[in-house]
C-alpha cells in the first residue's frame, strides 16, 4: 500500500479514522529523512541537530502524528544518511510495517537512496510506504517537478518502482506553472495526476485508489482528444 500526503497532519480529524485502520500501538515505523538540502545538513552533527530524539528540531513534528495513534517511540526507528548502511536498512525492514518519507527535496531523497544502495530494498518492501510532500512525489516511478522557489525549471524524474499509473501534485494552488507542468506531464506520459493540498491524501492499494480530504483527480487536460478542456 502507498500513502501519499500533502503534509504530515494525518492525525487530525480529516484523516484520523481512515489512518487508524493501519496505524496503531503495534505499528513499527522506519523514518527515512533524506530530503534535506546539502547546504542545510552537511554532516552528522547537523543531521542530529535536525532529527535527534533529544534535541532535534524536526523530531517532534515527525513523531507526534504517529504518537496520536498509540505508536510507541521505541517503534519509530531512523535511517541516518551519515551512519546507516544498506545492511542496516535491510535489517530494519524485517520488522517494519511503514516506511515513512518526509518532505523536502524528492530528487535528493532518491539520489541518496541510490548512493547508499538502498533502492533495491525499498522497491522490494511489501509493507506500507507513506510520505508527505517530497515523500509523496517520489513514490511514483515517473514523476515531475514543477517550477517553484527551489526548482527553477520543469523536470521529469525517476522515483520508486511502486506506482506506475499516476503521480501527485503536492501543495496544489492552481498556479500557472503547476497547471502547465501537469498538462505537459500528461501529454508526455498519458498518466493521471492527482492534486494534493492541505488536508488531503491518496491511498493506493491493489490497483484501487482512495482520495481523502481535498485530494482530487486533475481533469484540466484530456490526452485522448489532445485539447484543453
With a pLDDT cut of 70, the percent of the chain lying above it is 96
Look at the alpha carbons of 78, 80, 84, 86 in this order and tell me if their dihedral is positive or negative: positive
pLDDT tens digit string along 1-48? 999 999 999 999 999 999 999 999 999 999 999 999 999 999 999 999
In the predicted model, is pLDDT for residue 222 greater than 60?
no
Reference 157, options 141, 176, 177, 173; nearest CA is: 141
Q: Say how many domains are in the chain.
A: 1
Query: The domain containing residue 85 runs over which residues?
Result: 2-228
State how far the alpha carbon of 84 is from the alpha carbons of 60, 95, 100, 115, 116, in Å.
21, 16, 16, 12, 9
Reference 10, options 94, 72, 69; nearest CA is: 69
Residue 207 is predicted with a pLDDT of 85
Q: Could you tell me the three cell numbers for 122?
A: 525499498
The CATH number covering residue 149 comes to 3.40.50.880
CB 118 within 8 A of CB 150: no
Identify the band that residue 65 occupies on the pLDDT scale cut at 50, 70 and 90: very high
How many angstroms separate the CA atoms of 119 and 99, rounded? Answer: 13
In the predicted model, is pLDDT for residue 156 greater than 60?
yes
pTM of the predicted model, to two decimals? 0.94
CB 137 within 8 A of CB 129: no
Q: Taking residues 61-81, report their average pLDDT.
A: 98
Amino acid at each position: 500500500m502507498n500513502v501519499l500526503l500533502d503534509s504530515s497532519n494525518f492525525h487530525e480529524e480529516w484523516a484520523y479514522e481512515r489512518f487508524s485502520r493501519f496505524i496503531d500501538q503495534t505499528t513499527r515505523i522506519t523514518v527515512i529523512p533524506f530530503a534535506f538540502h546539502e547546504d542545510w545538513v552537511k554532516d552528522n552533527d547537523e543531521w542530529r541537530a535536525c532529527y535527534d530524539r533529544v534535541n532535534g528540531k524536526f523530531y517532534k513534528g515527525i513523531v507526534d502524528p504517529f504518537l496520536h495513534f498509540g505508536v510507541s517511540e521505541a517503534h519509530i526507528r531512523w535511517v541516518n544518511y551519515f551512519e546507516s548502511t544498506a545492511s542496516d536498512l535491510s535489517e530494519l525492514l524485517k520488522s517494519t510495517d511503514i516506511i515513512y518519507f518526509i518532505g523536502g527535496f524528492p530528487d535528493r531523497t532518491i539520489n541518496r537512496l541510490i548512493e547508499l544502495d538502498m533502492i533495491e530494498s525499498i522497491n522490494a518492501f511489501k509493507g506500507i510506504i507513506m510520505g508527505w510532500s517530497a515523500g509523496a512525489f517520489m513514490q511514483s516511478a515517473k514523476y515531475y517537478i514543477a517550477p517553484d522557489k527551489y526548482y527553477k525549471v520543469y523536470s521529469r524524474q525517476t522515483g520508486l518502482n511502486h506506482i506506475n499509473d499516476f503521480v501527485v501534485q503536492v501543495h496544489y494552488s492552481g498556479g500557472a506553472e503547476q497547471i502547465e507542468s501537469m498538462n505537459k506531464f500528461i501529454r508526455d506520459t498519458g498518466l493521471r495526476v492527482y492534486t494534493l493540498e492541505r488536508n488531503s491524501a491518496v491511498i493506493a492499494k491493489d490497483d484501487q485508489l482512495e482520495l481523502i480530504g481535498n485530494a482530487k483527480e486533475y481533469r484540466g487536460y484530456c490526452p485522448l482528444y489532445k485539447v484543453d478542456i
